[in-house]
Amino acid sequence: MEKQIMWGALVFLGGWLWFYLFIRQLVFNFATAIPLLSRFRKANPDLINANAKRYLVISIIIWIIISGGTAFLVIRFAATYLWVSFLIGGVLGALLYINHYGPSTKSNYLAFCGTYYRFIPDDQLRTDMYNGKISQMKVRLEEMGIDKSAVIPVFKRDK
């Protein structure tokens, strides 16, 4: 019985790690990258290269395969109490991360900038995105004649 509890706890931590490494990337893609890419495209179609969407789709496909494959292996080959423990760990990870969903957190916006800067044709804006300098990004967007509030959200407080 003690051995089963220890295995259950270990697989529970594995479920949390599964969420944190794999599912969180999917959540980032759907809750942050897609809305921000559409904001960039609406602000100015030439502001971000069209290949950014292709990069996003490939990322989503890869993370679905990895996370789904991992979950399939656990559910298929583990005892019932272990895969339930795994899923509970994943759900707990999702609940702990719930305050960080969406583009309105500064950390998610900076993560987006650090990932998608390579698709920005303007050299100065690309450099500012890479370095995470939001104030300089606002200045450059104004110089380009683009509404900065359409591209840079008002951030809620990160925890």
Q: Which two tokens stand for residue 2?
A: 């003690």
pLDDT given for residue 158 in this prediction: 52
Measure Cα distances from 74 to 17, 23, 51, 57, 90 in Å: 13, 15, 35, 26, 12
Q: Decide if 129 contacts 138 (C-beta within 8 A).
A: no
Quick: pLDDT tens for 105-151. Answer: 899 999 999 999 999 999 999 999 999 999 999 999 999 999 988 99
